[in-house]
């Protein structure tokens, strides 16, 4: 008989069923570990990206730059949060780890904004050094996020038996991916 702690943590049995919160899920230990690594790497990419975006927004003193950034940031954070939330749930973490990951997702952009405001006297967002640092950090986070989206999230879903056996569903998923990528690209015009 499992203890409450084992049930809460998602105790993995030898027959491939994970018990979490009293519900059985058909996930083996290797798959569960993969889900957890995906969630942590995605969180890392989002955290770096959010601090950089917040820093840019906090350091900017131009209202014409700030207003579109706020709109883009709201949509951006909404969809990042939905994606990360799904990964965190799929990783079947305990309550403590879920709270920690949600906390870091929630505070990184405001932290970046506060850092940008605090450094606005010293930090010039048009100086060559600031542009290089911001560009490198954006490139790292964008690379992480693109890799996670294409290799770990989309490829896993698109290669699954549920999607491979249903052509109409596969076509709808491709259309949804292209519309989502196109929508984010259009929002980048104002960001």
Q: What is d(CA 175, CA 171) in angstroms, rounded to the nearest whole number? A: 6
Q: What is d(CA 105, CA 84) in angstroms, rounded to the nearest whole number? A: 9
How, if at all, do strands 18-20 and 23-25 pair?
antiparallel
Separate counts of helices (H) and strands (E) for the chain: 8, 3
Mean pLDDT over the full length of the chain: 78
- Helix, strand or coil for residue 23? strand
- Give the burial class of 17: count Cβ atoms within 10 A of its Cβ; 0-12 exposed, 13-18 middle, 19 or more buried: middle
pLDDT the model gives residue 7: 39
pLDDT the model gives residue 104: 92
Whether residue 74 is predicted with pLDDT greater than 70 in this model: the reply is yes
- Helix, strand or coil for residue 88? helix
Q: pLDDT (tens digit, 9 = 90+) per residue, 99-114?
A: 999 999 999 989 988 9
Parse the chain into domains and list their residue ranges: 29-159
Whether residue 172 is predicted with pLDDT greater than 90 in this model: the reply is yes
Contacts 24+ apart (CB under 8 A), 23-30: 25/92, 27/92
Angle in degrees, CA 159, 91, 40, rounded to 5: 95
Q: pLDDT (tens digit, 9 = 90+) per residue, 132-170?
A: 877 887 788 778 778 877 877 788 778 878 888 888 999
Nearest to 33 by CA among 93, 102, 114: 93
pLDDT the model gives residue 13: 41
Which pLDDT band holds residue 179 (cuts at 50, 70, 90)? Answer: very high
């Amino acid at each position: 008989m499992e203890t409450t702690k084992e049930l809460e943590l998602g105790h993995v049995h030898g027959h491939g069923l994970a018990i979490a919160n009293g519900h059985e899920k058909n996930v083996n230990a290797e798959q569960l570990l993969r889900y957890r690594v995906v969630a942590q790497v995605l969180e890392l990419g989002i955290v770096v990206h959010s601090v950089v975006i917040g820093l840019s927004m906090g350091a900017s003193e131009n209202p014409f730059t700030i207003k579109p950034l706020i709109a883009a940031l709201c949509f951006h954070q909404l969809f990042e949060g939905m994606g990360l939330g799904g990964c965190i749930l799929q990783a079947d973490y305990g309550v403590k780890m879920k709270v920690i990951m949600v906390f870091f997702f929630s505070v990184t952009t405001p932290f970046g904004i506060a850092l940008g405001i605090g450094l606005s006297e010293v930090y010039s967002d048009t100086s060559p050094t600031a542009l290089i640092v911001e560009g490198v950090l954006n490139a790292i986070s964008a690379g992480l996020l693109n890799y996670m989206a294409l290799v770990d999230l989309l490829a896993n879903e698109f290669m699954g038996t549920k999607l491979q056996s249903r052509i109409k569903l596969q076509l709808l998923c491709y259309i949804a991916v292209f519309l989502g990528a196109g929508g984010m690209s259009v929002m980048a015009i104002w960001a």
